[in-house]
């Protein structure tokens, strides 16, 4: 099949999409390069993090990044919107973290029993959020989940490479 | 003759008991069905229900418009006996137009028990919002006669939310995610990953740029719509999809109907010709 090419804007790194790219690399041919604008060239092109993530999850269905059934897909959609609308530079972070903490109180992963786009996009939004480190202590479930993911590849590599660049 | 031998129940008696249980179960079902029928004949609402359901089925939105068959057990897991109830909390200040269109489509596909409630957090809900899911069924209507419940609660919520299968699913917030869920009950997404993602991308554009964006953002989206609709009859290609429902409703909501460019105007008419957009349009008048 055709090789995919993801270009990322390094001054505004789409961490979630980059994580999705790292996860599907073993399943599809994909190259990542740095450029002026973030875009994934397919027949059309996608230039927002959620569309890129959705597409990558769909070309590697065996990884289950979009959930195992229709209800899990809907939860993934919910968290994709949550991370883009509630966690990315929006006011009201404390309230959003409260909701997230409640959702994670009985769960290891946000949706189902395995890693999905929900974990990738929410983790990425927090990782890139200036206020997260100071707020982390107040939300024990989010903190546990965040550390658990942070200790794994490719979260470590993507996190180290691009968040240091951002500051 | 003793029914019991050495404390064991005679297998023949066991079989008889099982048959009797089965007959009782069938009788119970029959009784419930007859009660349901009796209600449609004797209640004043019955005529109204009949008129509406026949007008719905006569609409031109044929099954060929949405390709592929869907089965609720396959999609949602085996029915556990209770009615699958979709509960939506929506703010009357932002009526969820896409959900009304999807509700109309669902009602054509499934037997849907639709109910509208008003939560104590809001007052003075306009009458058209109370009747937006069609005439109300009598309360005693047997729930087991329906495949799906659709319960809309007008409530002072900052963001629309859906609760469904609450043991397994977190509450789903945002009209876009709920619309994706409802649409999947009607038709599968395209199997091509790029087309499926194109649908989702238009849905995001509709809700976040058309409905909530600045005048400049709206104008940009209208140009993008116009160019996509110059290449294809529908937004995601040859097939009508959720992209069309979401964009139609958000163009309507943003008041851009009359100022829309040519291809968009033509496509708006095509959408309207399918039926099902009437309730959304009425609500904004």
Dump pLDDT digits (tens) for B16-64. Answer: 888 888 887 777 777 766 665 655 454 433 333 332 332 333 333 444 4
Q: Residue B2 pLDDT > 70, yes or no? A: no
Answer whether residue B235 shows pLDDT above 90.
yes
B198 in A contact zone (CB under 8 Å): yes
Q: Identify which of B180, B193, B197 has the shortest CB distance to residue A77.
A: B180
Helix (H) or strand (E) holding B84: strand B84-90
Q: Is residue B204 within 8 angstroms of chain A, CB to CB?
A: yes
Query: Within 10 A of A74 (CB to CB), how many other CB atoms are there?
Result: 23
Asked whether B274 and B65 are in contact (CB, 8 A), the reply is: yes
pLDDT of residue A142: 98
Q: What is the pLDDT of residues B246-266, one digit of tens each?
A: 999 999 999 888 889 999 999
Measured distance CA(B66)–CA(B188) in Å, rounded: 9
> Is B70 within 8 Å of chain A by CB?
no
Nearest CA in chain A to B228: A44
- What does the pLDDT read at residue B127? 92
* Best to test chain A binding among B159, B171, B177, B211 (most A CBs inside 10 Å): B177
Omega before residue A7 within 30° of 0, cis: no
Q: Is B215 on the interface with A (CB under 8 A)?
A: no
Residue positions counted in chain B: 285
CB B181 within 8 A of CB B162: yes
Question: Is A75's CB within 8 Å of B169's CB?
Answer: yes
* B175 neighbourhood in chain A, CB within 8 Å: none
Which residue stretches of chain A have pLDDT < 70?
1, 164-167
Is B168 in CB contact (< 8 Å) with chain A? yes
Interface test with A, best of B157, B160, B197, B202 (most A CBs within 10 A): B197
To the question of pTM greater than 0.80 for the whole model, the response is: yes
Q: What is the pLDDT of residues B174-230, one digit of tens each?
A: 999 999 999 999 999 999 999 999 999 999 999 999 998 999 999 999 999 999 999
Please give the mean pLDDT across all residues of chain B.
83
B232 interfaces chain A, CB cutoff of 8 Å: no
Per CB-CB distance under 8 Å, the chain A contacts of B164 are 71
Residue B242 burial (10 A CB sphere; 0-12, 13-18, 19+): buried
């Amino acid at each position: 099949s055709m090789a995919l090419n993801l270009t990322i804007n390094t001054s505004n790194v789409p961490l979630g999409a980059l994580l999705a790219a790292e996860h599907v690399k073993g399943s599809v041919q994909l190259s990542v390069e740095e450029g002026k604008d973030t875009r994934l060239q397919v027949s059309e092109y996608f230039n927002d993090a959620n569309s890129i993530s959705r597409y990558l999850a769909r070309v590697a269905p065996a990884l289950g990044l979009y959930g195992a059934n229709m209800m899990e897909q809907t939860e993934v959609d919910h968290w994709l919107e949550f991370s883009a609308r509630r966690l990315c530079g929006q006011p009201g972070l404390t309230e959003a973290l409260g909701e997230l903490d409640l959702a994670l109180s009985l769960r290891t992963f946000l949706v189902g029993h395995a890693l999905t786009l929900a974990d990738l996009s929410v983790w990425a939004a927090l990782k890139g959020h200036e206020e997260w480190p100071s707020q982390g202590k107040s939300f024990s479930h989010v903190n546990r989940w965040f550390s658990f993911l942070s200790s794994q590849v490719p979260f470590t590599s993507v996190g180290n490479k691009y968040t240091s660049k951002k500051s | 003759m003793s029914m019991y031998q050495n404390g064991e129940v005679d297998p023949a008696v066991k079989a008889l008991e099982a048959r009797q249980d089965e007959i009782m179960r069938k009788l119970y079902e029959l009784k419930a069905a007859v009660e349901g029928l009796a209600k449609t004949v004797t209640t004043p609402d019955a005529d109204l229900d009949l008129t509406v359901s026949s007008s719905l089925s006569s609409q031109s939105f044929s099954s060929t418009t949405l390709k592929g068959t869907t089965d609720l057990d396959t999609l949602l897991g085996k029915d556990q006996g209770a009615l699958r109830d979709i509960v939506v909390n929506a703010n009357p200040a932002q009526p969820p137009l896409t959900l009304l269109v999807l509700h109309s489509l669902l009602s054509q596909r499934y037997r849907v028990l639709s109910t509208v409630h008003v939560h104590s957090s809001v007052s003075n809900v306009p009458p058209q919002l109370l009747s937006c899911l069609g005439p109300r069924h009598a309360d005693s209507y047997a729930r087991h006669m329906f495949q799906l419940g659709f319960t809309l609660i007008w409530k002072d919520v900052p963001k629309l939310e859906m609760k469904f299968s609450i043991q397994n699913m977190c509450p789903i917030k945002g009209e876009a995610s709920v619309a994706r869920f409802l649409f999947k009950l009607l038709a599968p997404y395209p199997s091509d990953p790029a087309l499926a993602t194109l649908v989702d991308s238009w849905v995001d554009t509709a809700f976040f740029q058309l409905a909530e964006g600045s005048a400049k953002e709206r104008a940009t989206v209208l140009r993008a719509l116009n160019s996509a609709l110059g290449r294809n009859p529908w937004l995601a290609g040859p097939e009508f999809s959720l992209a069309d429902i979401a964009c139609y409703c958000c163009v309507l909501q943003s008041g851009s109907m009359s100022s829309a460019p040519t291809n968009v105007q033509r496509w708006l008419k095509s959408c309207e010709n399918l039926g099902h957009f009437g309730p959304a349009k009425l609500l904004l008048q």
